[in-house]
């Protein structure tokens, strides 16, 4: 997903293997933008692989890509108003995660505030969930690094038929780790595993980092997990 010239979020969603898909490559190199998110992932075990369940999710001018699993979803659904739930089109927990953020924004919060409050609530209710996410609006870019108590889905990796040597760089030993790099121009990049991140800075555990797209100022807020039992 990316911001177009009018600062509207556009996205390309592919429900098939994307790493060699020319549509994905074109979306990354042909579309000039001030902010972009690229997200490749395996489907959650048992979740139907179809367009509506594919990341990123974009609704109400906010886009989200999530690496993790928030289950069972009943408590999360109960947290959402009927009006916000009406905007959910697929079955994924990740789209419900976005719905919670959207609900907070509708109540008058900035994107950073909305994400921080959503993640704080989710961490208390789902202590073992990975809430790692990249979230975009026309004015803010937010990176959530909150997966301290989560176990990488090694069983799903094994069931995929892909060998450990075929997985992306650091995938098996730093799967949920998020880092950032500020370039000489002032631009900021965030990345999980899969690329060489020498010189990058690891984001603090259990944190929400927000970039103001107008000034490129980066602010990081730490979650209070003192009362959260793993």
Q: What is the dihedral of CA 75, 77, 80, 86, to 10 degrees?
A: 180
- Domains of the chain and CATH, by start: 2-222 (3.60.20)
Sign, CA torsion 104/153/173/230: positive
Q: Where are the beta strands (DSSP E) in 18-137?
A: 57-59, 62-67, 132-136
pLDDT of residue 168: 81
128 in Cβ contact with 230 (< 8 Å): yes
Phi/psi at 175 (5° precision): -55, -45
Query: Residue 76 carries which DSSP code?
Result: H
* Neighbouring residues of 41: CB distance < 8 A, sequence distance ≥ 6: 55, 67
pTM across the whole model: 0.91
| Mean pLDDT split into 10-residue runs, the chain, 230 residues | 95 76 82 90 62 85 95 97 96 96 98 98 96 98 96 84 83 92 96 92 97 97 76
The per-residue pLDDT for 185 is 94
How far is the C-alpha of 227 from the C-alpha of 45, rounded, in Å?
30
The 10 Å Cβ neighbour count of residue 225 is 17
Can you give the pLDDT at residue 101?
Answer: 98
Q: Across the chain, how many H-helices and E-strands are there? A: 6, 11
């Amino acid at each position: 997903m990316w911001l177009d010239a009018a600062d509207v979020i556009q996205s390309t969603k592919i429900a098939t293997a994307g790493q060699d898909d020319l549509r994905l490559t074109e979306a990354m190199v042909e579309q000039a933008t001030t902010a972009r998110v690229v997200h490749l992932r395996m489907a959650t075990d048992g979740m139907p692989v179809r367009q509506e369940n594919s990341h990123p999710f974009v609704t109400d001018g906010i886009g989200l890509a999530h690496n993790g699993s928030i289950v069972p979803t009943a408590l999360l659904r109960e947290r959402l108003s009927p009006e916000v739930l009406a905007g959910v089109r697929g079955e994924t927990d990740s789209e419900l995660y976005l719905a919670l953020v959207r609900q907070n924004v509708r109540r008058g919060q900035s994107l950073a505030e909305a994400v921080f409050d959503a993640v704080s609530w989710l961490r208390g209710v789902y202590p073992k969930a990975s809430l790692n996410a990249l979230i975009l609006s026309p004015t803010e870019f937010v990176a959530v690094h909150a997966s301290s108590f989560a176990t990488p889905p090694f069983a799903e990796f094994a069931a995929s038929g892909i060998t450990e040597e075929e997985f992306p760089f650091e995938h098996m030993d730093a799967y949920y780790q998020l880092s950032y790099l500020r370039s000489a121009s002032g631009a900021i990049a965030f990345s999980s595993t899969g690329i060489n991140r020498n010189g990058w800075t690891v984001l603090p555990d259990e944190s929400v980092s927000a970039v103001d797209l107008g000034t490129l100022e980066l602010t990081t807020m730490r979650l209070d997990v003192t009362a959260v039992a793993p």
